[in-house]
Amino acid sequence: MILEMHDVHVNLGLSHVLQGVNLSIHPGETVGLFGRNGVGKTTIVKTIAGWYRPSQGKILFQGQPIDALPPNEITRLGLGLVPEDRRVFPGLSVEGNLKLGLMQVQASERKAAEERIQMVFERFPRLSERRDQSGNTLSGGEQQMLAMARVLIGNPKLLLIDEPTEGLAPMVVADIFRLMEELKSQGISILLIEQNIHKAIHLCDRHYVVERGKVVLEGNSQDIEERKELIRRVSV
């Protein structure tokens, strides 16, 4: 397993948000996380990435416990979070935003990461054209691409992607799904939170449904069609 969560509990303020989450991801797998608003999906990915500390339970990344590590160390191990709010720095240029991705990289890998910035510009011509433009002048789709590109600079083995297509036009949504297909075909493992269930089901090998801070259902591609209605019911 590349990732395992065992009975993970998280309290935020007075809320017991995660109430014993169990999930796992095989290397190279793309896994969907579905559920209504507010059930804890974002909390799950932020907890994996080290932004929140579990009060109970274990999280293993490639067999190594990570639940007590700070976010930057978790990133260095090869785990990248693309957060829902994209976190593009408005006053920094596209290139400046991408270079922030270098800060997460170990000194010994800095050169390879700098080369990856060039590769990112080749892969994302729209970002390359806008390399000197500041973050706040980008469209929502371009900001999402930038947020994903920045995480890719760290060469992650597992990507956590939180609602990447929210508020974006259908053509841009298609671009983002194409990018995720490409990352999947490169062998990167993905945990995806996505409201576009139809597209997500086609991309994902397996999915989990979350309700009130717990995983209540797990399915693989064979029973996807059967589960589609159920997932739609609990996701809207």
Ligand X SMILES: Nc1ncnc2c1ncn2[C@@H]1O[C@H](COP(=O)(O)OP(=O)(O)OP(=O)(O)O)[C@@H](O)[C@H]1O
Q: Which residues bind ligand X (CB under 6 A)?
A: 12-13, 15, 17, 35, 37-43
Q: Which residue pairs from 213-218 have beta carbons closer than 8 angstroms and sit at least 24 positions apart in sequence?
A: 213/16, 213/17, 213/18, 213/19, 213/20, 213/21, 213/39, 213/40, 213/43, 214/18, 214/19, 214/20, 214/21, 215/21, 215/22, 215/23, 218/23
Residue 15 CB, nearest approach to ligand X (Å): 5
Nearest to ligand X of 34, 121 (CB atom): 34
Residue 40 CB, nearest approach to ligand X (Å): 4
Residue 176 CB, nearest approach to ligand X (Å): 17
Residue 115 CB, nearest approach to ligand X (Å): 35
Nearest to ligand X of 41, 157 (CB atom): 41
Nearest to ligand X of 43, 97 (CB atom): 43
Beta bridge partners of residue 162, listed in sequence order: 193
Nearest to ligand X of 35, 154 (CB atom): 35
Q: Please report which helix (H) or strand (E) contains residue 177, including its range.
A: helix 170-185
Nearest to ligand X of 39, 66 (CB atom): 39
Give residues with Cβ within 8 angstroms of 84, minimum separation 6. Answer: 42, 162, 163, 166, 193
DSSP β-ladder status, 214-220 and 30-34: unpaired
Structure tokens that stand for 213 in this block? 């801070």
How far is residue 162's CA from residue 41's CA, in Å, rounded to a whole number? 8
Nearest to ligand X of 11, 128 (CB atom): 11
How far is residue 3's CA from residue 189's CA, in Å, rounded to a whole number? 9
Residue 19 CB, nearest approach to ligand X (Å): 11
Structure tokens that stand for 32 in this block? 């969907």
| Residue for token pair 């399915």 | 219
Residue 98 CB, nearest approach to ligand X (Å): 26
